[in-house]
Structure 1
Amino acid sequence: MRCYGSDLTDAEWQVVRPLLPVPAWLQGAESYCHRVMLDVVRYVVDNGVKWASLPADFPPYRPVHAFARRWQATGLLGEFHDRLHDRVREKEGRAVDPTAAIVDSQSVRAAANILCSTSGWDGGKKVGGRKRHLVVDCLGLVLAVTATAASVQDRDAAVQLIEELHAGYFSLRLVWADGGYAGRLGDWAAENLHLTLEIVRRADDTSGFVVLPRRWVVERTLSWLMRSGRLVRDYETLPVMHEAMVLWSMTMLMSGRLAGRHSAGFSRSASAR
């Protein structure tokens, strides 16, 4: 019987199954059961393999790739991710809607198939490829994500990202960020969205690695994502599919947490808000 480390356990499936956003028009449209489809997508995300290089005991890659693309394009993946997010916050004793968040970015090298028109050079990190911009809550759970060329400045990408965040979470009042977001972005957020952007700066007299208040939460999330082989390098032709891979990675982490999987990686030490 097929069994990979990325497969849904029975406990995870019991958590996930009632949260699957399967609309009436999709009933019976899939060639394989949803558990099998999810297992294949999770395998790709976890191991970073090409779709065409899936193990022979999985279904053919074309219908599974079509499944992943359809869930991204129709918003089903985002809905599935958000339902898991709500459940995790409830389990941790938090309100479903957060009032504070942290924003940051991470540049990753692009694979050879990535078009030059959707990639760029991050001069600060000396990385050529794409940049994923994240907003997370105080548990480190992703609230919003966007993928851009690595050359895009953090504060420029944050405008669209924070607008999207505000539209989904009216309860949000405060966003922490590093010095790369300083400047007019704070004034814009206050005037247009009634949000406070608080810059957490590194002291000038410090050297080496330092754990900074609030910022460590999003940095931990970025390290969680790097555990997924598909996210170590950007292999996705379309930036929206890179965003989808981030969400798939987080669904794996959250389902594991809800099912009591020890490798889920959450810390209970994040400050309450």
Structure 2
Amino acid sequence: MRTHHYPSDVTDEQWALTEPLIPVYPGGRPRKTDVRDVLDAVSYILRTGCRRRYIPEGFPPRSTTGRYFDEWRSNGTLDRLHDALRREVRTKEKPYRPRSSARVDSQSVDTTSGGEERGRDDAKNVDGRKRHIVVDSMGLLLAVLVTAASVDDGRAASALFARLNGQPMGKVTRMYADSKYHDM
């Protein structure tokens, strides 16, 4: 059991909601690591942008945290956890204040690794990738699309908005965007 806690740690209420969503595999050796500590470590990495090798002491070993993170990302567990927590936040909204707007924007980031999704954004002087993100007015994530930095926002808009299918858009009637999303 850890002694030091961080603002990124899941609360007891969040843990009660997310624990049933974490896969348990029958057979094999019993777990020695507290999965809640692993979730706290993953949350710490995601919240702070910290690299795995810089995880503070007290969390499970970085190899363990990395293994769980990679597994949860590939099998959809992180998506299910995020969706459950987002649903919980939305249920606590006041019914007379439904969210009626969302925002979309992109950010170009340098990358050193190659791959298909890499290009040059001359406007920002960046070689790498571009993250296109849609959030609701509470700042809750609705959709993400990663493209090469050279991809124009207007060209990426249709693929990004296709990812909104099945998302809890509710009463969203207005989408705010900069002029680069001209093809919406």
Are the structure 2 counterparts of residues 167 and 39 from structure 1 closer, same or farther at C-alpha, using a change threshold of 3 Å?
closer
SS in 2 for 1:179: coil
- Equivalences for residues 28-39 of structure 1 within 5 A: 31-39=32-40
Match of 1:123 in 2: 122
SS in 2 for 1:140: coil
Deviation at 1:180, TM superposition (A): 0.6
Amino acid at match of 1:148: T
- In 1, the alpha carbon distance for the partners of 2:30 and 2:125 equals 45
SS in 2 for 1:124: coil
Q: Residue 40 of structure 1 contacts residue 58 of structure 1 at CA under 8 Å; is this kept in 2?
A: yes
Match of 1:88 in 2: 89
How many residues were matched structurally? 178
Match of 1:271 in 2: none
Of the two structures, which has the highest relative contact order with CA contacts closer than 8 Å and spacing of 6 or more? Answer: 1
- In 1, the alpha carbon distance for the partners of 2:24 and 2:45 equals 27
- In 2, the alpha carbon distance for the partners of 1:32 and 1:146 equals 33
- In 1, the alpha carbon distance for the partners of 2:78 and 2:63 equals 18
Amino acid at match of 1:16: Q
Match of 1:243 in 2: none
Match of 2:43 in 1: 42
Match of 2:179 in 1: 179
2:13 corresponds to which of 12, 15, 19: 15
**Superposition RMSD in Å:** 2.9
SS in 1 for 2:164: helix
Match of 1:152 in 2: 151
Q: TM-score, normalised by structure 2?
A: 0.79
Q: Residue 107 of structure 1 contacts residue 129 of structure 1 at CA under 8 Å; is this kept in 2?
A: yes
- In 2, the alpha carbon distance for the partners of 1:163 and 1:152 equals 17
Q: TM-score, normalised by structure 1?
A: 0.56
Deviation at 1:160, TM superposition (A): 1.6
Amino acid at match of 2:121: D
Match of 1:265 in 2: none
Deviation at 1:155, TM superposition (A): 1.8
- In 2, the alpha carbon distance for the partners of 1:26 and 1:3 equals 31
Deviation at 1:34, TM superposition (A): 2.1
- In 1, the alpha carbon distance for the partners of 2:56 and 2:117 equals 30
Q: Which has the higher strand share?
A: 2
Q: Residue 6 of structure 1 contacts residue 39 of structure 1 at CA under 8 Å; is this kept in 2?
A: no
Runs (4+) of structure 1 exceeding 6 A deviation are: 26-29
SS in 1 for 2:163: helix
- In 2, the alpha carbon distance for the partners of 1:149 and 1:180 equals 16
Percent of aligned positions that are identical: 33
